Amino acid sequence: MARAPYRILDASPHGLRIAWRTEAISAEALSSLGLSRAGAAAVLSSGRLTREGIVLASATSLTPGDVLELAFEPVAPASLDASIPAATLLWVDPLGLALAADKPANLLVHGDGTGQITLSQQVAAAMVQRGIAGAPQALQRLDKDTSGVVLFSLHPEFQPAFDGLVASHDPSRLSKRYFALVEGTMARPEAVDVPIGRDRHNARRMYAGAGKEARSLFEPLGTLTLASGACATAVSVTITTGRRHQIRVHAAALGHPVVGDLLYGAAPVSGGLMLHSWQETLVHPVSGQRFQVEAAVPSRFPEEARRLAESAKK
């Protein structure tokens, strides 16, 4: 990775202090930090980029050694609703630009108009409790019945940088590893490169064999016997694309649907869908630092499955 033209000196709830390394103008500097053209224009027009207390214009020249101060867009503090439980935060970005939360099963990430409490609301509650500034916006989605890691951005200026990270599907920048139980015995690793599209006959389902490219790698970790007496395989799943229901559709296409996935042909079990967003490794789009985030496999999985997951940690 090429050396960034800047170095982040420090961060506060109000903004960043940045040491500049090259010849540039202010607008180019903001673009290098990952701001969109509109975001950079908003920062400059509101006087939120300064050098030694002097507000910088779009075409102001910068030289190596300049120290810039970038103030975040002011965000009204969220009110704390005592009826909304705080999310479990797995990671908080040292720069204050992002965080990761642990989503329980049976919880929506975003509202669907029904008034149900969402993970986004729980993250906002956790931020109020911990004094974390910003307005959380989910960068990823998980199905309601899937648990685990979900990334959020916290400041609108840097949303495009994190959106670009998630959309890149570049495993050197962002990699995701899921833990799942699938029906039957999966004897060897299975690489699935099968496109996924919408099922024309059932709006709730996706279809394997047509649509957008989708790639998943299933790696068996061991077998176990479910409470029903049926055999299941614990698998680690890595994906390099992010299609709706991707792991569920690919697992079913292999003849090993995810345990509890009634939509794709699995038998009902207690505990629901046995799919968990387990580990995520990201290269921060602003600082360039690498972080690994992990959500422990929850207790709704059988104890033997959790033991297999613990043994397979990377």
Q: For residue 249, give the CATH number of its domain.
A: 3.30.2350.10
Instruction: Tell whether 159 is covered by a domain.
Output: no
Instruction: Tell whether 223 is covered by a domain.
Output: yes
Full-model pTM? 0.93
Instruction: Tell whether 25 is covered by a domain.
Output: yes
**Final residue of a domain: which of 36, 71, 106?**
71
CA atoms lying within 13 Å on the CB side of residue 146 = 22
Q: What pairs with residue 222 in β-bridges?
A: 234
State whether residue 155 is helix, strand or coil.
coil
CA pseudo-torsion sign 49, 163, 175, 121: positive
Q: Please tell me the distance from the alpha carbon of residue 51 to that of residue 102, in angstroms, as a whole number.
A: 39
**Final residue of a domain: which of 71, 95, 116?**
71
CA pseudo-torsion sign 143, 96, 30, 292: negative
Buried b (16+ CB within 10 A) or exposed e, 14-23: ebbebebbee
Instruction: Tell whether 77 is covered by a domain.
Output: no
Query: 266-313, pLDDT tens digit by residue?
Result: 999 999 999 999 999 999 999 999 999 999 999 999 999 999 999 997
Residue 197: both structure tokens together: 């599209």
Specify whether 143 is catalytic: yes
Instruction: Tell whether 183 is covered by a domain.
Output: yes
Residue 50 has pLDDT above 60, yes or no: yes
**Final residue of a domain: which of 53, 71, 89?**
71
Q: Please tell me the distance from the alpha carbon of residue 133 to that of residue 114, in angstroms, as a whole number.
A: 28
- Predicted confidence band of residue 78 (pLDDT cuts 50, 70, 90): low
Residue 58's domain comprises 6-71
Residue carrying structure tokens 């792991």: 247
Query: 207-251, pLDDT tens digit by residue?
Result: 898 899 999 999 999 999 999 999 999 999 999 888 999 999 999
Report which secondary-structure segment, H or E, holds 32. helix 26-32
Specify the amino acid at residue 68.
L
Query: 151-181, pLDDT tens digit by residue?
Result: 999 999 999 999 999 998 899 999 999 999 9
Instruction: Tell whether 83 is covered by a domain.
Output: no
111: which residues sit within 8 A by CB, 6+ positions away? 118, 120, 121
User: What is residue 84's DSSP assignment?
Assistant: S
User: Phi-psi bin for 126: left (phi > 0), alpha (psi -120 to 50), beta?
Assistant: alpha
Catalytic residue among 143, 145, 163, 199: 143
Q: Please check whether residue 210 is in contact with residue 157, taking contact to mean a CB–CB distance below 8 angstroms.
A: no
- Predicted confidence band of residue 112 (pLDDT cuts 50, 70, 90): confident
Q: Could you tell me which of 177, 190, 167, 306 has the C-alpha nearest to residue 252? A: 190
